[in-house]
Structure formats: C-alpha cells, structure tokens
Chain A
Amino acid sequence: MAVHHGRGFACINYPIGMNLGGDPSQALVHSTPDGKFMVTLSSIDLGQGMKSVTRQIASETLGVPVEDVYVDTADSDTGPHCMGSFASRGTHRVGNAVIRAATEARQQLLEAAAEELEVSAADLDTDGAGNIHVKGAPGRSITVADTAIAAQFKQGRTLSGRGIFLIPPSEADPDTGEMTPVSCFAHAALVVDLEVDDETGVVEVKEINSAYEVGRALNPKLVEQQLIGGAWMGVSHALYETTEPYYPDREHGPQDFNHYLMPGPAEVVTHNIAVLERPAEDAPYGGKGPGEMCANPVLPAIANAVYNAVGVRCDTLPITPEKILRGLRENGGAKPQGRR
C-alpha cells in the first residue's frame, strides 16, 4: 500500500458570448450636474464583478477617474435591456455596450468643453484625472465638472450616451453544423500534480501550474479571483460533486452541504498562474470573460493525473475513492505510468 504521485495535463479553449448571437445588451450613461457619470444597466452581478468591470470600462472610455463613475444595476424600470449574465457574455456584450454609450457621452463632453474653450472638439483630450485640455497645450484646460455645469446650466446640452451591442442572430446548418458560434475564444492549459492513496482511493491535489489567456485582464484582481475560484471549482467537480452519485440512478442524491461535498478551506491547492493577454478584436479593450472557462481544464487534467499515478482511467465523473478502488481491483493493483 502506497501513495503514488501523478501528473496530468489538459488544455482548452472557450467560446465567449451566447452562441449564434442574438443576445443584445444595452447601456445608458449620463452626467450628474457636476460631471460625475452614472452608468445604468440591467445586467446582473453574481459576484463575477459586473458592476466593477463596467465601471472601469466606462471611466476609461469617458476619460474620467473611476471614482467619478457609478454603475447602477439592475432595475427594469430604469436599466435598458440586457440578455443576462451567462455564457461568458457579460464582459463582452455589456462591456461593448458601455464603450459605445460612454463614447457618445464623451463626444458630447468634448463638444461642450470645446464651446467653453472656443476650440474644436477634435483638438481636445481628457487626462483621466478630471480635466479636458487642448492636445499639445495642457495649459488650456477646463475641468469635467465645470464642463458639465456649463453644458447643463448654460449651453442646454445633455452629456449622455446610449449603447447597444448585438451580434445578429444566425443559425446552425442542419446537415453540416456550419455556423458562426461566437466571435472570440479564451484559452487555458494546466498541469496538475496529485497523490493517490492506493489503500483508501483518496486523491489529494498537490499543485496546479496553469496558463490562462484572457484577452486582456481588465482588472487583474478580478481575473485572479475568477482563476483561483474557478480552479477550486474544477477540483471540486472532478473529485466530489454530483447530485446523483450513482447516475443515472436517482437514489442517494444529496440534500444538503453535509452530503454534497466540496473541498474546504483546509484543502487549498498551491496554484501558480500565468495570465496571457491576446486581445480579441471585438472584445471590450480586448478582454474575454475568464469566469466560465477557468474551471474546465482542471477536470480532465485531474483524470489524466490519476491515470498517471495509479493506472486507473476514470472516464466517469466524479473521481471518487470508490471508483479508484474498483479500478485498482480490476487492474490487480496500482500501475504507476512513470514520472513526467
């Protein structure tokens, strides 16, 4: 009886956005009297950071500090339509809608400032710190706040913008499956190191080394949150989770967290992450949603590592001690496949 080390690899890509399009999202942006900006959405923050990432996108696009932007969501009376937070579509679709709305609002901001500074709007730029200045002449400037006040109380202009992003709906061909599924893909690869106890069948994941390509890390800490939490969920899916332990049998289904198992805080796995950023052409600032894809490669990498450790192929998830022990018995014991 022994503990065997195993190493497994898997790599994946992941489609970003609802398949076949037809899933619009809209955004409205408007200025308060003194030049703060409200972004109004009906998009959902499930914890993935929708409110935060759209706030950064709006402030970057407007050219104002992030503190001067607030995202209000989701009230169907005020927020324009959004298809929802699923299919890794939030960052891509809503982000693009926010870019468009903020671009239109920015244009109006610059036009109002141009009137005050008596220059052409095309000659103006923002400094991202709350000022608008003539390109090449930072001394000739006006604050965003003064511009907003002038626009709304002197010039009679709104500083607002509307945005919608839609990939028009298309179909899959019945005979060939030809389609335009999505417009960009995220990527990941990872190596899992684990140990299998051939006496108990218990698997302990020791280390993960990974590379995730996310287009652009719009907020590196939010990306990090997703990648750590996603890898945890991947381990959980691979080794523990099922609503029907003897699927397709319906019996023995867990009713609570005492029977629906997941790794706990004492089972945190060492995870060395590299983030790659290859911006996608039609994604907001190139960013692809990392939230869904990050769990996916963990499942097969663990299955492959278990095989590498003891020679048992678990092609049915989850990889429970029971399945490993049955596999070991069938094989006449552990058959380590060699160090990688």
Chain B
Amino acid sequence: MTTIEFRKDLFADERVDDLKQIGKPTVRQDILGHVTGRSPYYDDHLFDGLLHMRCVRSPHHHARIRSIDTSAAERMPGVRRIVMPSDVPHNINTLLSLINFGRDDEPLLSHTKVSYRGEPVCAVIADTERQARAAIAAVRVDWEVLPHVLDVEEALEPDAPVVNEEYPNNTFDYHERYDHQKLRFGDIGAGFAQADRVIEGRYQMSPIEQAPLETCGAIAAPETNDRFVCYTSTQALFFSLGTTAKLLDIASSRLHFVGGTVGGGFGGKVDSIVEPMATLGAVLTGRPVKFMWDRPEEMQVGAPRGGERWYIKDGVMNDGRIVARSFTGFFDCGAYTRLSSYAIIKATGHLPGPYTIPNVASNVYCVYTNRTPATAMRGFGITGVDFAIESHMDKVAEAVGMDPVELRILNAYRDGDMKAHRRLAKNTALIECCQVAADKAGWRIGPQFAAASSLSDGGGDRALIGETVTDQEGRIGERRQRRIPFAPSERGTGRIAAGTAGEAVSAARPQRDDMQPEPERIGHKVSAADPERPAQPAAPPAPAAPPPQAPQPAQATPPPVYEPQAPAEPPAPQSPPPAQPEPYRPSEPFQRGVKRPGASRFISGTRRR
C-alpha cells in the first residue's frame, strides 16, 4: 500500500511555506461532476439529428490508390454523404505548422497513396453508426500494393522504399542541412581514448498506446451566425481549432471549440484529426456530425508513442567517472511527422541525462516507416532514452564494480555544472532524490555519497565547455547515395573554441508592473547569500521571480504542512550569510519527529493507509 511523506526539511530555506491555499489538499473542483457522472465530456452533448461518420481505411502498409468506387455505399440505407479527399479544401498539413516547424506532409484523407495500415482514404456519414459501418464495408478501393519498410534502420538503406514523398530520404530534414539532429559537446574521440573502458548498449522502446478510457472524438454542428461549434476531446483546444481552420480553409473566427473536460489523454489527443473530420462533416451536411474512434481504431490507428531505438557508448574511468558518452537514436515516427521531429529536439536537449559528462555527442534521427504515425505520450521524447540511459548506467556500474546508486551520485549533475546543451544547471535535486530513495529502501551507500549535495561541489571546472569537435556528416540525401555511419563521428572535421556558448532564454516580462507579484507572495524565499540568484542579473528579462530582495524576516506563523501536522519551529532569521545546511544523511534510518542535525525539525508527512 502507498505511504507518502513530504520532506519539508529538504530545501526548506528556499521556500516560503506559510501560504494559505497553495500546499493544501483542496478537493478537486471537478470531483462532484465526476462522482455524479455529470462532468460534460464531448460526447455528452446531445444534438437532434446527429449523424455519424466512419472512415474507409487502408488494409495495406503501403499502396497506391488506383480508384475508389463508392457507388454501392451511396445507395445504402441512411447514408447522407460520402466524403472524398477532394472534399477537403486544403488537404495537406503538418501538426506543427502552427509554430512553423516542418513542412506540410499529411493529408486528412489520402488521395494518391496510403503509407500505413489504417490510413483513411474516404469517409461515410450516415444516420446511425451501424449504417455508416455497413456503408464503409461497401466501398471498393482498387489498391496497387507497394513495397514497404517497417524497421528504422532498414528505412535508411539507400534503396529503401520512399514512405513520405515530402521527405524522400525517409528522414526529417533538420535545419535544411542534416538528416538528424546533432549534439556536440567537447571531444568524444579524446574522451573514449582517455577512458579505461568503453561500454556499449542497444535499447529498444516499444510503441505504446496512450489508451485513455475515452477514445478520441468530436461532435461538430452548424451554429447560428454562419459558424460551427465543435465539442472535442482535444488536449490542445487552439491547436485543434487552428488545424481545422487550415485544413478546411475556413476563417478561425467561424469556429467555436468547446472542450476542457477530457476522459484521459496521455498525449494521444493532441493530433487534431477528429476535429477537422467532424467539422468537415458538419460543413458538408449542414447537420451535427460525430466522428469518434472506436477502441480498435484507438489501439491501432490512433498514433501511439513511437518505437525508439537507442545506441549508447560510454567511455568510463575505473573509478566510475563517465568521461565520454555517445548516443545514436532512431525515433520511429511512422508515415507522417506529427510531433516526432520536435520530440527529437527535446530528447537532444535532455542528453546525456542528469549527469555531468565532459564529452557528449548524439545523432538522433526522425525516421519515416510504413506504420501508424507516432505522436506524444506521457514523457514524450524522454521516456525511451531514460530507459536506455538508466539501463546503461547499471551496465556501467557492473563493469566498473561500483554500487549503482553511488555511480549515479558520482556522476550526477549539480548546481552550477555546464550541461551538454551549453546552459548552466540550477535548481538540481538528483542527488537528494537518490539519497532519499535509497534510504527508504534500506539500500546502503557509502558515507561520501550520503553526504553529497546538489548544492555543493558543482561549477568550477564542471562549468567549463571544452573545445568542441564538429563534423558535417549526414547531410540531407547523402544516405540515398551510399551507406554512411549513423553514430556521431569520433574524429570530426571542425573545432569550436572552448567556452563558446550563447545566452539563455528566459520568460517574457509581464506587460505591466502590477502583473508582477513579489517573490515572497509566490512562495520563493530569496536570500542575498543564495548562490543562484545573484548570478541572475536584472539585465535580461527576468523570469517570474524577480531579482533578489531583502532577506525574508522570521515568520511567526508555523508553515502549513500536509497532515499530520507537527508543531514547527519558526525558521531562523536569514541573517546573511546563512550557514551552509548540513547535508542530509540518509544512511541514518529516519523516523517521525527525529531532529536532524542542521535541518529544520523533521516533519514527517508519512501517512499509512
């Protein structure tokens, strides 16, 4: 059974804890609707004369459409309209065109060829769902089956079938230059040469269905004033509205989208396919139209979390320090881009995981294959590579004969360290998480690891960027001519001077000063001696917490804690400089009410069920 405790003793000097609403276990605003069954999901909106839409889908992985014969379907009972690709006013889109990322590569309904099993080619709108199902079974499509490719590495062979004509090399084009996204930090070649041993691994993340209990769907209907309302399960209301406006070539002001109460999403409801389909149906019929995926469609046609394949190569010293790490990653994005190309940038920014490694390189490929397009899912871009990294860390620990937790703490990133994407780490807490989790499990770690802290021993040499080796390998289209290595080059052809890095981007300032709350009012304890904040000059636009202010005076009221409440000592006045907090020693078993040296009185939130 679950127990949960809130370790208020850790990082206590960075928080104002006497807030009135924040931190309280307030009952959910939507819970009464949930337990009475009255929360309004999209399908709970009733319309007279509602029509139902179903799609005719490809049975083939890859095929050319010679012709579509809908004559029998048109004569079926209850059929109101057959929707053909030519009915879609602007039948090409890419989801991220709304932020200007990538080229339009996906039709709403395919008219020339299909590139995955389940791709829709036309749709039927009928009075009942059953009639729509019967009618789509009567549509005859003449297919010319084409060779297909399902494996990401096979798709990058010179003679592999072209999956998506917009990207004829079966890879997304990055920066109009490379067929992958690069990360280069330091010199991995030198790092591997210096290492006592090199450890390699290959990891395969499975494709996974988001499986929200409510399937994707939308109901669209003509509204008064020449507009259309669309009730939707979307995770991103304006994404879906904008995508619909573009595909239907309709002014966005004529669209009224309503959602916000969704039966689970987990990433699968960003794709904005059901909304343009239902709205198109309402436009073509002048009637309310529902387009809802059934469970088999949700499972096999709805975009899953894509398969990811990762190769990791580590250069490791015998004492456990990782001195070089190289990644080769393949995202199986399926037949169309959706969000995979973007997730690869996210994954690249995440490498090499939460560790400080002086030499890092990665090549990550967004590969088109003849399968259902992949899309977001909980942890998108990160879950797969974290599985790879953390499985690999275990192999490294075994190879150097080190405790796995200690290996992580040894290599963990700390405040002030330089990350491989060339920004300084701050607000880190990996080490403390390792210590607390190990302690809870009774996993003993050595005293120097138990005493480590995210707040100390970072920065210095660890803040430096070494001279970086670059290369020009993997230019767009090169792989169509010849096989070239997938992995990052270990020799390189260029050099970037040590220390080269740009400015971090931070949040845009509020439009007016009175939109900017004081930091204490939003829970931040700011102290002049805080090593982090003075490093943030006021020059570039400051994030939500503005520049440092006077030290926080002692608060008379005890901080609110989650049950059970223990009387708390008022925090000591923050006279600058505050004493460096004693590191928490998780090797001591902790109990409720134990006063920890150097920490505030330990408040246990443990609650057993």
Choose the segment among B46-54, B68-76, B124-132, B507-515 that binds chain A (4+ C-beta atoms closer than 8 Å). B507-515
Asked if A181 meets B25 with Cβ closer than 8 Å, knowing A12-B390, A42-B238, A86-B267, the reply is no
Residues of chain A in range 292-340 having any CB-CB distance to chain B below 8 Å: 292-293, 295-297, 299-301, 303-304, 307, 313, 315-318, 337, 340
Asked if A262 meets B211 with Cβ closer than 8 Å, knowing A177-B421, A270-B2, A297-B386, the reply is yes
**Interface status of B209 (Cβ within 8 A of chain A):** yes
Instruction: List the A residue with the shortest CB-CB distance to B354.
Output: A13
Contact B440 A216 (CB under 8 A): no
Nearest CB of chain A from residue B158's CB, rounded to whole Å: 19
Contact digits for B427-448, partner A, Cβ 8 Å, 1 yes 0 no: 1111011111110110100000
Contact A43 B23 (CB under 8 A): no
Q: How far is the CA of A207 from the CA of B23 in the complex (A)?
A: 27
Which residues from A are CB-within-8-Å of B266?
46
Asked if A296 meets B349 with Cβ closer than 8 Å, knowing A76-B237, A244-B307, A284-B544, the reply is no
Residues of chain A in range 173-202 having any CB-CB distance to chain B below 8 Å: 174-185, 187-191, 193
Which residues from A are CB-within-8-Å of B460?
none
Which residues from B are CB-within-8-Å of A211?
7, 432-437, 440
**Interface status of A51 (Cβ within 8 A of chain B):** yes
Nearest CB of chain B from residue A326's CB, rounded to whole Å: 15
Contact digits for A241-270, partner B, Cβ 8 Å, 1 yes 0 no: 111100111100111110010100000101
Known: A13-B428, A15-B382, A44-B260. 13 other contacts (CB 8 A): A9-B394, A61-B517, A66-B24, A99-B522, A172-B421, A174-B181, A176-B183, A176-B422, A177-B182, A216-B23, A233-B378, A257-B295, A304-B391
Report which of B6, B239, B255, B521 forms a contact with A220, defined as CB distance below 8 A. Answer: B6
**Interface status of A57 (Cβ within 8 A of chain B):** yes
Contact A209 B440 (CB under 8 A): yes
Instruction: List the A residue with the shortest CB-CB distance to B116.
Output: A250
Residues of chain B in range 360-398 having any CB-CB distance to chain A below 8 Å: 362, 369, 371-372, 376, 378-383, 386-391, 393-395, 398
Instruction: List the A residue with the shortest CB-CB distance to B204.
Output: A316
Contact B404 A304 (CB under 8 A): yes
Asked if A9 meets B15 with Cβ closer than 8 Å, knowing A44-B260, A275-B5, the reply is no
Contact digits for A108-142, partner B, Cβ 8 Å, 1 yes 0 no: 00000000000000000000100000000000000
Report which of A23, A52, A253, A262 forms a contact with B30, defined as CB distance below 8 A. Answer: A52
Which residues from A are CB-within-8-Å of B181?
172, 174, 177
Nearest CB of chain A from residue B60's CB, rounded to whole Å: 11
Contact A176 B184 (CB under 8 A): yes
Asked if A241 meets B206 with Cβ closer than 8 Å, knowing A128-B20, A166-B508, A220-B562, the reply is yes
Q: How far is the CA of A169 from the CA of B404 in the complex (A)?
A: 38
Residues of chain B in range 494-508 having any CB-CB distance to chain A below 8 Å: 494, 496, 501-502, 504-508
Report which of A13, A191, A283 forms a contact with B440, defined as CB distance below 8 A. Answer: A191
Q: How far is the CA of A227 from the CA of B272 in the complex (A)?
A: 28
Contact digits for B62-95, partner A, Cβ 8 Å, 1 yes 0 no: 0000000000000000000000000000000000
Which residues from B are CB-within-8-Å of A172?
181, 345, 348-349, 421
Contact B23 A248 (CB under 8 A): no
Asked if A300 meets B386 with Cβ closer than 8 Å, knowing A12-B354, A177-B349, A255-B299, the reply is yes
Contact digits for B1-28, partner A, Cβ 8 Å, 1 yes 0 no: 1111111101100110001111111111
Report which of B23, B255, B259, B437 forms a contact with A189, defined as CB distance below 8 A. Answer: B437
**Interface status of A281 (Cβ within 8 A of chain B):** yes
**Interface status of A272 (Cβ within 8 A of chain B):** yes
Among all A-B residue pairs, the 8 with the closest Cβ atoms: A84-B236, A181-B349, A74-B260, A282-B543, A300-B390, A177-B183, A174-B175, A191-B441
**Interface status of B57 (Cβ within 8 A of chain A):** no
Residues of chain A in range 13-31 having any CB-CB distance to chain B below 8 Å: 13-15, 19-23
Contact B182 A44 (CB under 8 A): no
**Interface status of B150 (Cβ within 8 A of chain A):** yes
**Interface status of B346 (Cβ within 8 A of chain A):** yes
Q: How far is the CA of A280 from the CA of B11 in the complex (A)?
A: 11
**Interface status of B157 (Cβ within 8 A of chain A):** no
Nearest CB of chain A from residue B286's CB, rounded to whole Å: 21
Residues of chain B in range 545-570 having any CB-CB distance to chain A below 8 Å: 545, 562
**Interface status of B117 (Cβ within 8 A of chain A):** yes
**Interface status of B174 (Cβ within 8 A of chain A):** yes
Report which of A82, A187, A233 forms a contact with B237, defined as CB distance below 8 A. Answer: A82
Instruction: List the A residue with the shortest CB-CB distance to B295.
Output: A256
Which residues from A are CB-within-8-Å of B505?
21, 167-168, 170, 180
Contact B362 A276 (CB under 8 A): no
Instruction: List the A residue with the shortest CB-CB distance to B563.
Output: A220
Q: How far is the CA of A60 from the CA of B436 in the complex (A)?
A: 30
Instruction: List the B residue with the shortest CB-CB distance to A242.
Output: B206
Which residues from B are CB-within-8-Å of A74?
237, 257-260
**Interface status of B178 (Cβ within 8 A of chain A):** yes
**Interface status of A38 (Cβ within 8 A of chain B):** no
What is the count of residue pairs linking A and B with beta-carbon distances less than 8 angstroms?
516
Residues of chain A in range 64-119 having any CB-CB distance to chain B below 8 Å: 65-66, 70-71, 73-77, 79, 81-87, 96, 99-101, 103-104, 107
Contact A296 B386 (CB under 8 A): yes
Q: How far is the CA of A279 from the CA of B259 in the complex (A)?
A: 31
Contact B523 A279 (CB under 8 A): yes
24 A-B residue pairs with CB within 8 Å: A7-B443, A11-B390, A12-B354, A43-B260, A44-B259, A47-B262, A52-B28, A59-B20, A163-B510, A174-B175, A189-B430, A213-B432, A219-B23, A230-B378, A242-B208, A250-B117, A250-B371, A278-B427, A281-B533, A282-B544, A296-B386, A307-B394, A315-B391, A317-B204
> Contact residue range for chain B?
35 or more
**Interface status of B219 (Cβ within 8 A of chain A):** no
**Interface status of A147 (Cβ within 8 A of chain B):** no
Report which of A46, A100, A178 forms a contact with B515, defined as CB distance below 8 A. Answer: A100
Nearest CB of chain A from residue B604's CB, rounded to whole Å: 10
Contact A175 B265 (CB under 8 A): no
**Interface status of B111 (Cβ within 8 A of chain A):** no
Asked if A237 meets B383 with Cβ closer than 8 Å, knowing A56-B24, A248-B307, the reply is yes
Which residues from B are CB-within-8-Å of A82?
236-238
Q: How far is the CA of A178 from the CA of B14 in the complex (A)?
A: 29
**Interface status of A37 (Cβ within 8 A of chain B):** no
Instruction: List the A residue with the shortest CB-CB distance to B259.
Output: A74
| Most central of A22, A52, A103, A189 by chain B CB within 10 Å | A189
Q: How far is the CA of A244 from the CA of B5 in the complex (A)?
A: 38
Instruction: List the B residue with the shortest CB-CB distance to A24.
Output: B508
Which residues from A are CB-within-8-Å of B388?
300
Which residues from A are CB-within-8-Å of B350?
15, 181
Q: How far is the CA of A187 from the CA of B264 in the complex (A)?
A: 24
Which residues from B are CB-within-8-Å of A180?
421, 423, 504-505
Contact A187 B429 (CB under 8 A): yes
Instruction: List the A residue with the shortest CB-CB distance to B407.
Output: A9
Instruction: List the A residue with the shortest CB-CB distance to B562.
Output: A220
**Interface status of B241 (Cβ within 8 A of chain A):** yes
Instruction: List the A residue with the shortest CB-CB distance to B544.
Output: A282
Which residues from B are CB-within-8-Å of A296?
379, 382-383, 386-387
Contact B430 A13 (CB under 8 A): yes
Contact digits for B299-340, partner A, Cβ 8 Å, 1 yes 0 no: 110001001000000000000000000000000100000000
**Interface status of B516 (Cβ within 8 A of chain A):** yes
Report which of A46, A57, A191, A247 forms a contact with B206, defined as CB distance below 8 A. Answer: A247
